[in-house]
Amino acid sequence: MSRIDLKRLILGDKQADRVVPPSGFTAQLTIFAAAAMAFLAVFAMALSLASGRLAARWGNELAQSSTIRIVAPLDQRQAQTDAALRILETTAGVAYARALDDAEQQALLAPWFGADLDLQALPVPQLIEVIEEDTGFDAAGLRLRLAAEVPGAVLDDHSRWRAPLVAAANRLRLLGWISAVLLGASVAVMVTLAANTALAANAQVIAVLRLVGATDRYIAQAFIRRFTLRAFGGAIIGIALAMAAVSFLPKASDTAGFLTGLGFQGWHWFLPFLIPVLSALVAFVATGTAAKRALKRLA
């Protein structure tokens, strides 16, 4: 079907379009199925993009820092903090480390204890922020050294709880794209079935067209154009409804959870417009293949 005249396919030919009789059932079936698949594809795309954003955010935060807590009696806390910092200076993979000052620690606790908290009145551990290099550091080795030289130090490696979440978000993103691909395949199957039905129902028309000198290319084009336009039109309806539905979802916010971020952001709003084009492309290939087989069978 590579020789199909693209210009004629897009612009159409009024006479040629009338040659194949209109078939209400397959037309409605194709438009409805394309609309439904496009509607679902928009949500799969939104889910995938939201998961991607989540994975990226968690991944970036994971890469940023680790924390060491110094839990020691007040008179030993500064000495142990200095010891921990010395160890960190000589640890490969640590880009930067610093002890948080009292104001910073107070700010961290303010949501729970209020802004007037006296740190000296509570056994609050000293926190050390550790910034890693891209290569990261050997967390197990660092723990061993800290245990030997700084008994009150506890390394909080964020990857323990963030890594599975990032993996889950990435899997969710992958599932979203797999769903979109499966929806595309479903469109192809549905269009193939509808096209086969239409071709079989029009066997007599095809015989007459052949009798008067119509080539297989001409006959196939009449069917391909029809199904391609139906799939495109149905997908337009589907994405219009889906984007309206997505726009009514709650907007993403820092305080809310993952579900409030399920939608499109920025230029991602333009991505669903690819779906009708892809849907038409799938219908074009599926009908072309079905027509080629059917015309060979009917020869």
Binding site for other proteins (CB under 8 A): 14-16, 18-19, 21-22, 205, 207-218, 295, 299
Supply the minimum distance, in Å, between the C-beta of residue 287 and other proteins.
18
CB of 3 to other proteins, least distance (A): 9
Q: Which residues contact 53 (CB under 8 A, 6 or more apart)?
A: 261, 265
And the tokens for 12? 């159409």
CB 69 within 8 A of CB 126: yes
What is the Cα–Cα distance from 181 to 262, expressed in whole angstroms? 19
Is the Cβ of residue 16 or residue 163 nearer to other proteins in the bound state? 16
Q: CB of residue 20 vs other proteins: minimum separation in angstroms?
A: 9
Q: Tell me how far, at minimum, the Cβ of 204 lies from other proteins, in Å.
A: 8
Tokens 């009292």, residue located: 102
- Please, which residue, 18 or 98, has the CB nearer to other proteins? 18
Close Cβ partners of 250 (under 8 Å, ≥ 6 residues apart): 256, 259, 260
Q: How far is the CB of 23 from other proteins (least distance, A)?
A: 11
Encoding tokens for residue 13?
A: 């030919």
Q: What are phi and psi of 242, to 5 degrees?
A: -65, -40
Distance in angstroms (rounded) separating the CA atoms of residues 146 and 57: 30
Nearer to other proteins, 162 or 293 (CB): 293
Nearer Cβ to other proteins (22/73): 22
- Report the residue number, 217 or 268, with the smaller CB distance to other proteins: 217
Q: Do the beta carbons of residue 44 and residue 108 sit within 8 Å?
A: no
